[in-house]
Amino acid sequence: MQEESRSDCGCSCGGEGGEAGAEKRLGWHEYFMSVAHLISRRATCTRGHIGAVIVRDHNILSTGYNGAPSGLPHCNETTCRIYRSTHPDGTVEENCVNTIHAEINAIAMAAKHGVSIGEADIYITSSPCIHCLKVLINVGIKTIYYDKPYKIEHIDELLRLSGIRLVQVSPGANPTA
């Protein structure tokens, strides 16, 4: 039986698998950061939507977004309960009592499903707060990729001491990796 040859494959590649008219393929950083932004759309925090994706060897291990613990009322359903804390430099920070950050939720989901995340990387729509960074250090995350900076000055020393890399990646930048 002879195979049939067709030049109209139905994709936008130009017919014969060529590059004409083809969309540029996403790089790994852009792909994972885009996934983090998509995940952030599930967030229930009324103050910010953050998404996180834990990755190793170009495979997604776990995801998380900011919101209340499972089964408890979310801030978009009730009132946000804000508390204030003061950093040693005098900067006042406000956080919500109800919300678990995206990074912690991604770690919790990995633990819940028995997924090892040691030696992995994480993509987050904003750089981690100091509390999340401490947990990321303890679980063995090697590189933190983020889109928007969030109080990076508070985490500089911990980054330096821990050896974790912090790399800014924008979803539209398409860096090669």
Mean model confidence pLDDT for the chain: 84
Work out the angle at residue 103's Cα, subtended by the Cα atoms of residues 116 and 149, and round it to the nearest 5 degrees: 135
The arithmetic mean of pLDDT across residues 56-73, rounded, is 92
Task: Report if pTM > 0.85.
Answer: no
Backbone angles phi, psi at 48, to 5 degrees: 180, 145
Check residue 177 and give its pLDDT. 43
Q: In this structure, what token pair is assigned to residue 59? A: 């495979």
3 is catalytic: no
For residue 173, being part of any structural domain is answered with no
Q: Which domain holds residue 163?
A: 28-67+100-168
Check residue 14 and give its pLDDT. 45
Check residue 32 and give its pLDDT. 98
Least confident of 7-11, 20-24, 65-69, 130-134: 7-11
For residue 93, being part of any structural domain is answered with no
The arithmetic mean of pLDDT across residues 140-163, rounded, is 94
For residue 23, being part of any structural domain is answered with no
For residue 108, being part of any structural domain is answered with yes
- Among candidate residues 4, 16, 23, 103, the one labeled active-site is 103
For residue 59, being part of any structural domain is answered with yes
Instruction: Report residue 147's pLDDT band, with 50, 70 and 90 as the boundaries.
Output: very high
For residues 56 and 83, the model is more confident at 56
Instruction: Report residue 9's pLDDT band, with 50, 70 and 90 as the boundaries.
Output: very low
CATH of the domain at 164: 3.40.140.10
For the chain, percent of residues with pLDDT exceeding 70: 81
* Number of domains observed in the structure of the chain: 1
Instruction: Report residue 21's pLDDT band, with 50, 70 and 90 as the boundaries.
Output: low
Q: Which residues are annotated as a binding site for Zn(2+)?
A: 101, 129, 132
- Which residue type occupies 115? V
Sorted by sequence, the CB contacts under 8 Å of residue 41 that are 6+ apart come out as: 49, 51, 65
